[in-house]
Each structure stands twice: as C-alpha cells, then as structure tokens.
Structure 1
Amino acid sequence: MRAINATNQLLTSQERNTMRKWVLEPGKSGQDALVMKEAPVPDPGPGQVRVAVKAAALNYRDQIILNGHYGQGVEEETIPVADGSGVIDAVGAGVECWAVGDRVISVYFRDWVDGPPPTDRLGFGLGSPGENGVLAEYVVLDANRVTRMPQSLDFVHASTLVCAGLTAWTALTEEHPVTAGQMILTLGTGGVSLFALQLARAFGAEVIATTSQQTKEGQLRQLGTVDVLNYRTTPTWGENIYASTGGMDKVVNPVGGDAMTQSIMAVGAGGEIAVMGLFSAGDAPLPLPVLMSKGASIRGIAVGSSKALVQLVDFIDQHGITPVVQKTFALKDAKAAYTAQASRDVFGKIVIDMTA
C-alpha cells in the first residue's frame, strides 16, 4: 500500500532509508570502475524533485564514459547513465509544476530549453563526469530536468527516448524537416538509427537502411524499410543508393567519419546528412566537391532541447510508436547490461529494469 505523508512524499508501506546505486569510481576504467553501493535515499531540495527510477536505458555513450574516453575522466564518484523513467515520489519547496505520482523521463541537458544548443554552457549531460545520472533506485533532479513520459508506453520503453530517441527526432525535424514521400537513409542498427527509421515511417517517408549482418536484414524490413544494403558486401553502398534512387533527402549517420564518404555519395540534391557518430573519426579525405555539386549539407546533432523532447513524447503518443528494446536486465546485473549493449549483435535498446 502507498500513501502520501505530511512532507509530500510517496512512501511504501515499509519506508526505505537506503537505496542501491551503481557508481563509476575515479581512477578506474572499464567494468572495474562500475561498482554497486548502498546509500541513503536522497531528499529533494528547493526546486528539485525525487524520482523513484523504474528503468534506465543504455547508450553507446555510456561505453565511452565507462572506458574514460569522453573528453575528461571521472574525478569523483559518479552515478552513470542519462536515460531514465520513473515516478516522482517527493517534491522540494517551490515546485509547482510536478506532483507526487507523476510519471516522468529525464532530460539530458541542463540548460538547453529551445533553439540551437547553448555551446557555452551545454556540459556533458546526465551520467557524465561531474553530473550524476539515473542508475540508482532514487535520484534527485532539478524540476526542469524531467518531462512527462508518453502515456502509451511503459517505463522500460519510455526510458529509451531521452538520448537515442531525441537525437533521432532532432535529426529528422529541425533545419530540413522530413515530410511524407521523402527518402531517408539510416546507417546501422543502433538505437538512433532504429528510432529514425520508426519516426520517419510515421512521417510518411520511405526508409533505406544499412547493416553488416544478414540476420538483421529481415528485422529491418519488418520495421518498414523499402530496402536494406549490407555495407560489408557492398562497400560502395552510397553510390549504389544514389544510382538507384537519385539520392536521399536525408542521411542519418550515427556511425561516424568512416561512413561520411558514402553518406555524401548517397545524399541527393539539396539533401542533408545529419551526423552524430562517436564511433570513428574517419581518415580518408571527404569528397567535398560532390557535396557542393549537390548543394547538400552536413549538420551535427547533439541530442536535443527539452522542448524537442516534449514534442517527441507527444508524437510517440499520437502515432503509437513502440521503441525497439532487445533485452532488459535487473539492476543487480548492470554489468551484464553494459556487456550486451557493447555487442555488435545488439538490435534495439538494452534497458535496466529497476523493478526486476
């Protein structure tokens, strides 16, 4: 049984004083840095809310942070992972926009409300060095670091929207927004690419996808792609796509620099390559004359604003989109979740179910 006490907190019948959390310890890297600890349940201060976290979704970014390759190392004990969903179970003084019992998801960046990213104060986001994330049973966040989760999704699926879902949304909707009948190319089968595929289909666009594994081709077609190219067996995939279609209106490239040459070859006249890849920088010089001759552009994507996240939540509800989740793990098995997320065989999101 649950009840609300005099301090505006949602309590279980046996009030908990401690919680489990995973932390990254300074001076370590890899899974040796990931340690589970018990800690007091935190209380929200003025302008803050406490969230009972129900699910946390992993991104490739979490692998980079774990291995110390995210621009700066972990200098103090830090709770990892940016993407979480849960229930507000306590609110601090002055918070009027949220109430105990509200179902919410986390907001990736602190100061990006709308418009272009404020590069002077953007920071690294939740779960990065210097800013605690959500891989804990309870977290305290500023009231503007959460937003309503989709009514149509459970906690596991809702947790996947925060980074991968929002990155795909920003790639598809800003600067050169996708419209019905356009042709979109998505690269690989990571979280951003699968979200881009699902969202583009909901916009009425046609989608071509790439993969290196034949076993994934059928899965991509089930999600609605009109064609799938294997970039291992067809290294000139971009040239092939351009020859057969006349060029893509948008290329969503979460892979990185090594895929930029063929992305440029695939994009059509006036099209856009949205790039957010952290995998590789690429060494070969880019065919910029080809890009210029097409009047196409390259745009960097840095997740998205909190306003864009609200728009994504509404779109998910309106179109009944269910994010692709490959597997869930219990909180105690977070290390196994990290291992699964790093696998080349992953298709969809890896989520830690905090209630399991």
Structure 2
Amino acid sequence: MKMNVTVPPAVTASRPRPAPSIMALTKSSSTPEDVSVLQRPVPELATGELLVQTLACGLCGSDVHAWRQDNGYEWVQSPVTLGHEAVGRVIACGPGVPEEWINRRVVPIAIDGCGNCDLCTPGTRQLCRSRSVLGLSFDGCASEKFSIPVHRAVPVDSALPAETLALTEPLSVAFHAVTRLEESLGKTSRVVISGPGPIGLMCALLLKDHGHSVTLIGAPRDEEQRLPLARTLGLETLLAGQPLPPNIVGWLEASGAPQALKTAISAVHPGGTIVMAGLFPSLPAVDVNVLARNEVRLLGSYGSVAQDYRDALAALEAAPERWRTLITTIPLSEGTRALQTAADAGALKVVLLP
C-alpha cells in the first residue's frame, strides 16, 4: 500500500544581520602611532544626544599628539575615534531631543564641562575640572557618523562649503587666544607669533585685522609651505634665530616648542605679555626669574567659549576665500596619511572628507 508522505520544506537557519558599521580613524592603544581607519559600530543614541553624519572633519595638533602618544596624553582611553574639528548634518535624535534638529548642520563644541560648577556657570566651561574633550575623552568625529549631546551642538545656518565650516572650531581657539592677549595689550602694538601652524597663522591674521604690527616666526621646514602661504596673505615672517623686531609688547606662542617660549621670555618688552596657546610635548625649562624681573605676564589660553564660536562663524562668512586657502582635503579612508601630513607640516590644515 502506498502512503502519501509530505516532506516538509527545508529549514534554512536565519543568520543575524551584521550590525551596521562606520569607517572611523581610531586610536587603538597607547602604543605610539597605533592609529588606523577601522570599521566601528554606529553610535547608539542615549537620551539628549544627536546622531550626526560627518560632512568634514579637520585634524588638530592634539590629534597628532595623541597619535604620537606624546607626554600629557597618557589619559586618553583607547580605543577612541579621533577628531573634533567637524561639521555635520543631524540625521537622528535621541530620546528627549526635538525632531526640529533633523537635517540641521551643526558644529560640535570640542571641550565642555559639567555645566554646573563655579567655572562653568560664568561661561568658562572649557576650564571645568570635569571637562571632556571630543575625540579624546570619547569617540570623536573623524568618522562617517558621530554622536554628541545636544548641548554641545552649535547650529550652522550657513551656505559655506563643509570643509570651510570645519575651520570653525580652530578659528574659535584662535579668537580665544587673541582675546586673552588683547586684554593685556590695550592699544595696537608690536606682536610676535611663534608657530605658523593653523592656530598661529589664524591668530596672526586676526591680530593684523585688528591693527597690530605682526611678525610670524617659523622653523626652517615651514619655509616649504607655511611661511610662503603666510606671506601671500600679507603677513611678515621670520625664521627662528633671525633678528627679531624691536619693542615686542605681545607674544603669542603657538608652536609648542620649548625654545620658542624661551626666546619669547627673553625678547618681550618689560611689562609685556606672553600668551601660550600651544601645548608642549615635553616640559620646557625656562628662566622664570626674567618674568619676575621684567614683570612680564605669562598667560595660558585653552580651547574656546561660545562667543568665540560665534565670532569664528562670522569671520568665515566675511572672508571665506581667505580661510579656504588654509585647507588641504584628504579622504577619510586615508586618515593615517593625513595624520602624517599634519605631523610633517606638509599642509597647513588637513581636513578629512568621508
């Protein structure tokens, strides 16, 4: 007798879909130069956060310091995505964030504090004892997407190209340093800037715009690109070791070179001011007795505040072509080459494009 046997269809085991990932320039360990472009998970949004599609992200000196594992960067926890000089478009909102943020272009605040302490309340949030640094304390923007708390997002209602808007954060740092110096200078004065990198050159241009007599000093390697560019922008330049102009009332140190700070202390006119905007890979040995005897003020300048971001955006809008000349774009996929280019002073401002 025949029996009808129904054969069940073959069961195909369902495979879990791979989690979505993004390309990110990642510092993987505390080993010097252990940075590469990796696939990392898309950030999961917590309450009060934005998910941002990166449009452009500049590389900063701090990214280079972290890449080289210089002194003072031992606290950086790995793995971490580098980058904080970014502009992007909001593509998703976490719980508690209004949907009106969707599709807005934003610039993230790089350094921010707790918002409640004696330093944050008057507006100096970048000095907070509990401050965090985007791209060093937590994952940054040198990636295809990044997340930030909504209070760290500065809306950008500008038609400027993304790579130009990526200059907002470094230009805000320059504004902050220049403000610190001008609070002591008063009237227009003779000012020297050591270090023709992005911050130094930006400071030089801002001080020249404000009517000061400005001299920008660089190392011999800066004669290949940075100092010639500065001269095309109307700045007076010198190589380190050449005779300095007389009556230097203000000095802005942006190189992070101990010898530059030593020179500044010996060269500034009695009663003058030195502002340190650069961070040093090793502790400088300087003659502080000269500071005392000449009553020279030595001031630090770190990060920037909200007003500096607004000033930077206004300056970019006022002269976009001038600022655009500072930029060299490199694909995000070549992020390690971009870091090497920045470290070698092979470009003034490297901007990654996803």
2:152 aligned with 1:151: no
Which residues of 2 match residues 1-356 of structure 1 at below 5 A? 17-26=20-29, 28-30=31-33, 32-39=34-41, 41-69=42-70, 70-72=72-74, 74-96=76-98, 99-111=101-113, 114-115=123-124, 117-123=126-132, 125-128=133-136, 130-149=137-156, 151=158, 153-162=160-169, 164-174=170-180, 176-177=182-183, 181-213=188-220, 214-215=223-224, 216-225=226-235, 227-232=236-241, 234=242, 237=243, 240-241=244-245, 244=246, 246-281=247-282, 284-286=285-287, 288-289=289-290, 291-318=291-318, 320=320, 322-346=323-347, 348-354=348-354
Q: What one-letter code is carried by the residue in structure 1 that aligns with 2:215?
A: I
Distance between the aligned counterparts of 1:332 and 1:247, measured in 2? 45
Relative distance call for 1:218 and 1:63 in structure 2 (3 A) is closer
Distance between the aligned counterparts of 1:218 and 1:33, measured in 2? 31
Distance between the aligned counterparts of 1:97 and 1:176, measured in 2? 41
Please state how far the C-alpha of 1:315 moved relative to its aligned partner. Answer: 3.7
User: What are the ranges of 5 or more consecutive residues in structure 1 without an aligned counterpart?
Assistant: 1-15
Provide the aligned C-alpha RMSD in A: 2.8
Please state how far the C-alpha of 1:339 moved relative to its aligned partner. Answer: 1.1
Relative distance call for 1:211 and 1:102 in structure 2 (3 A) is same
Distance between the aligned counterparts of 1:152 and 1:203, measured in 2? 26
Q: Helix, strand or coil: the match of 1:176? A: helix
For 1:87-112, what per-residue CA distance to the aligned partner results, in whole angstroms no more than 9, with x for missing partners?
A: 11222233249621211111111217
Distance between the aligned counterparts of 1:152 and 1:266, measured in 2? 44
Q: What one-letter code is carried by the residue in structure 1 that aligns with 2:96?
A: G
- 8 Å Cα contact 2:181/2:275 also seen in 1: no
For 1:231-281, what per-residue CA distance to the aligned partner results, in whole angstroms no more than 9, with x for missing partners?
A: 14x2xx4xx32xx3x223343433243211211233234432111333454
Relative distance call for 1:218 and 1:38 in structure 2 (3 A) is closer
Relative distance call for 1:101 and 1:59 in structure 2 (3 A) is same
Please state how far the C-alpha of 1:118 moved relative to its aligned partner. Answer: 3.4
Distance between the aligned counterparts of 1:327 and 1:268, measured in 2? 37
- 8 Å Cα contact 1:49/1:141 also seen in 2: yes
User: What are the ranges of 5 or more consecutive residues in structure 2 without an aligned counterpart?
Assistant: 1-18
Query: Structure 2-normalised TM-score?
Result: 0.80
Q: Helix, strand or coil: the match of 1:88? A: strand
Query: Structure 1-normalised TM-score?
Result: 0.80
For 1:285-321, what per-residue CA distance to the aligned partner results, in whole angstroms no more than 9, with x for missing partners?
A: 42633x3454331111111223432333234334555
Sequence identity (%): 17
Relative distance call for 1:189 and 1:118 in structure 2 (3 A) is closer
Q: Helix, strand or coil: the match of 2:250? A: strand
Distance between the aligned counterparts of 1:204 and 1:319, measured in 2? 17
Ranges of 4+ aligned residues in structure 1 off by more than 6 Å: none
Please state how far the C-alpha of 1:142 moved relative to its aligned partner. Answer: 0.2
Segment of structure 1 superposing worse, 299-308 or 279-288: 279-288
Bigger Rg, which one:
2
Please state how far the C-alpha of 1:158 moved relative to its aligned partner. Answer: 1.6
Q: Helix, strand or coil: the match of 1:63? A: helix
Please state how far the C-alpha of 1:189 moved relative to its aligned partner. Answer: 1.5
Distance between the aligned counterparts of 1:66 and 1:334, measured in 2? 11
Residue 10 of structure 1 corresponds to: none
Relative distance call for 1:323 and 1:197 in structure 2 (3 A) is farther
Please state how far the C-alpha of 1:179 moved relative to its aligned partner. Answer: 6.5
Distance between the aligned counterparts of 1:282 and 1:301, measured in 2? 17
Q: What one-letter code is carried by the residue in structure 2 that aligns with 1:224?
A: G
Q: Helix, strand or coil: the match of 1:341? A: helix
Relative distance call for 1:161 and 1:254 in structure 2 (3 A) is farther
Relative distance call for 1:102 and 1:201 in structure 2 (3 A) is farther
